[in-house]
């Protein structure tokens, strides 16, 4: 998947990676457009029902999601797509890039519709240290690849590439975003911001697929290049994930200095540790925190039935993994 002519036109069949094609077919069924979610009631909620702490939490959420969705798009187009040559993988990445652009448009739509201070929300990713730190974490991974060579050339380059995939598909899309979804859906539990929460549902459905695709991709690459899986590399992958958990915990403490809608930073961070463990397991690294999910109500919101069916029907076995240390 890493070597081959990078400008060879697509010749799809016979498929070499049927899981990638299955993800593409599912992605097509998930199509949506931001304006399909009316925000009139959300505007009224904002004006009449939300207090300053709740507004602060929503602004922090928008101030993180909006720029990060565009970073994911950039990373796919500039760092990931040029390095993978399998046609079905490239078709999925092209579709995902469109979805990420659609997510940017969805958050732009919310920011321009709700009576928030747009300039302040747009600038949070630079002005707020907890958001800036998460952005710096992601940028570092993209910049490392922009200066890198071809992953077909050496083990070190392949490790660097896999590090980027873990940092984006597993950390950003599978941990940072899930923590944000949990916060957003706490509003719907109180019957608030239902339009925004519909958008979050659709983004979440897309992100579940991106995460699943990313895990399949990482495991497939590890299967094709087992020499990459040194004990040192698996330690670095694990510490990347643990570093991300710390960044997310700091961010959540800034989002929720006091509990909002019955949700505290401590509980949300318990959920972050719980999903970080799931991601570590999916990569074959073993759970680290071994914590229960403190947000039991979230399971029903996040485990969309159609996705569960999809994964049960088509998931590969995660028999390939990084050795535990
Ligand atoms: Mn996205
Ligand atoms: Fe995504």
Task: Supply the mean pLDDT for the chain.
Answer: 91
Per-residue model confidence as pLDDT tens digits over 263-311: 999 999 999 999 999 999 999 999 999 989 999 988 877 765 444 334 4
Question: What is the arithmetic mean of pLDDT over 56-65?
Answer: 97
Give the tens place of pLDDT for each residue, 170-214: 999 999 999 999 999 999 999 999 999 999 999 999 999 999 999
In a domain, 46, yes or no: yes
Task: Please indicate, yes or no, if residue 87 is contained in any of the structural domains.
Answer: yes
Given a contact cutoff of 8 angstroms between Cβ atoms, the answer to whether 292 and 274 are in contact is: yes
Distance between CA 61 and CA 289 in Å, rounded? Answer: 25
Centre of ligand 2 from the C-alpha of residue 9, in Å: 25
As a whole number of angstroms, the distance between CA 201 and CA 301 comes to 8
Look at the chain and report how many structural domains it folds into: 1
DSSP 16-33: S-HHHHHHHHHHHHT---
Q: Domain range for residue 233?
A: 38-311
Q: Is residue 28 part of a domain?
A: no
Q: Is residue 307 part of a domain?
A: yes
* Maximum pairwise Cα distance, the chain: 59
Cα of 89 from ligand 2 centre, angstroms: 15
Structural domain includes residue 124: yes
Q: pLDDT tens, 108-124?
A: 999 999 999 999 999 99
- Domain CATH for 154: 1.10.620.20
Active-site residue among 21, 92, 109, 168?
109
Q: How many helices (H) and strands (E) does the chain have?
A: 13, 0
Q: Are 260 and 57 in contact (CB under 8 A)?
A: yes
Query: With contact defined as beta carbons under 8 Å apart, do 294 and 271 qualify?
Result: yes
Provide φ and ψ at 211, rounded to 5°: -60, -45
| pLDDT classification of 253: cutoffs 50, 70, 90 | very high
Tell me how far the alpha carbon of residue 176 lies from the centroid of ligand 1, in angstroms: 11
Q: Which ligand is nearest to the CA of 107?
A: 1
Give me the count of residues in the chain: 325
Q: How many CB atoms lie within 10 A of CB 4?
A: 11
pLDDT of residue 303: 60
Active site residue 109: yes
Question: Does 165 reside within a domain?
Answer: yes
Mean pLDDT confidence for 138-157: 93
Q: Which residues contact 283 (CB under 8 A, 6 or more apart)?
A: 166, 170, 215, 218, 219, 237, 321, 322
- How many whole angstroms from 227 Cα to the centroid of ligand 1? 31
| Residue 215 within a domain | yes
112, 198 contact by CB (below 8 A)? no
Residue 23 lies in a domain: no
Which-ligand-closest: CA of 168?
Answer: 2
């Amino acid at each position: 998947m890493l070597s081959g002519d990078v400008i060879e036109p697509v010749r799809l069949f016979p498929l070499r990676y049927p899981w990638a094609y299955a993800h593409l077919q599912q992605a097509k069924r998930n199509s949506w457009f931001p304006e399909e979610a009316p925000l009139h009631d959300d505007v009224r909620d904002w004006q009449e029902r939300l207090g300053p702490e709740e507004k602060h939490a929503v602004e922090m959420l928008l101030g993180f999601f909006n720029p990060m969705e565009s970073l994911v798009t950039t990373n796919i187009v500039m760092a990931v797509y040029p390095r993978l040559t399998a046609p079905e993988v490239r078709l999925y990445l092209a579709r995902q890039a469109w979805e990420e652009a659609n997510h940017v448009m969805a958050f732009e739509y919310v920011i321009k519709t709700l009576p928030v201070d747009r300039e302040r929300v747009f600038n949070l990713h630079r002005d707020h240290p907890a958001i800036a730190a998460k952005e710096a974490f992601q940028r570092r991974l993209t910049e490392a690849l922009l200066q890198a060579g071809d992953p077909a050339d050496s083990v070190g380059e392949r490790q660097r590439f896999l590090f980027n995939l873990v940092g984006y598909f597993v950390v950003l899309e599978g941990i940072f975003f899930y923590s944000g979804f949990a916060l957003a859906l706490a509003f719907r539990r109180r019957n608030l911001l239902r339009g925004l929460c519909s958008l979050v549902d659709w983004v979440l459905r897309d992100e579940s697929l991106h995460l699943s695709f990313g895990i399949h991709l990482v495991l497939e690459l590890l299967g094709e290049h087992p020499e990459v899986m040194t004990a040192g590399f698996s330690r670095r992958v694990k510490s990347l994930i643990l570093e991300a958990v710390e960044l997310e915990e700091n961010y959540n403490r800034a989002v929720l200095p006091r509990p909002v809608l019955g949700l505290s930073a401590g509980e949300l961070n318990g959920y972050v540790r719980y999903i970080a463990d799931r991601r570590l397991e999916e990569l074959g690294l073993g759970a680290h925190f071994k914590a229960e999910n403190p947000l039991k109500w979230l399971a029903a919101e996040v485990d969309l039935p159609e996705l569960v069916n999809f994964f049960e029907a088509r998931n590969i076995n995660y028999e390939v993994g990084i050795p535990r240390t």
